[in-house]
Amino acid sequence: MENFNHQDTRKVFFEAWQKELHSQPVTPLEGIIVDVLKRHPEYQSIFSHQEAFENFQINLKNGGVNPFFHLSLHVAILEQVNANRPNGIKEIFVRLHNKYHDQTEVEHKMMEVLAQLLHDAAHKPEFLADDSEYLERLKRLFR
């Protein structure tokens, strides 16, 4: 999902879910999105009503969650694992899956690490994220 802006990203999610609802073929990326949405029924109504939600503003106060960001993190993790980029992430995913026996839980744990890394990169000018730092943080999930 490289080089997508806010609206493009939302559009891909809406189109993927609409294809699923109408039993239309999906691209590999859309297949990942559909898989994640099937595991998140709490978001399915959003993607079933594009007109109502395509410009939806998320209120993150009081613990609100941005479903678009949440699902995008799922997709990012799965694309990284599928490509094994950074090198070693697939092994980490498999080991975590062996530990927790729940793909969604494993993705959520890995997403927390990725989100924190993104936050650090955005808010700490001196912070330099690299693959080794990311993988090291993911390995802490074994403890």
pLDDT tens track of the chain, all 143 residues?
455 577 788 889 999 999 999 999 999 999 999 999 999 999 998 888 877 666 667 666 656 788 888 999 999 999 999 999 999 999 999 999 999 999 999 999 999 999 999 988 888 877 777 899 999 999 999 98
Parent domain of 140: 84-143
CB 79 within 8 A of CB 1: yes
pTM of this structure = 0.88
Residues 15 and 53 in one domain: yes
Decide if 77 is inside a domain: no
Q: Work out how many domains the chain is built from and give that number.
A: 2
Decide: 71 and 43 in contact? Cβ < 8 Å.
yes
Contact (CB, 8 A) for 1 and 29: yes
Q: What is the 3-state secondary structure (H, E, C) of 62-80?
A: HHCCCHHHHHHHHHHHHHH
Nearest to 80 by CA among 119, 106, 99, 101: 106
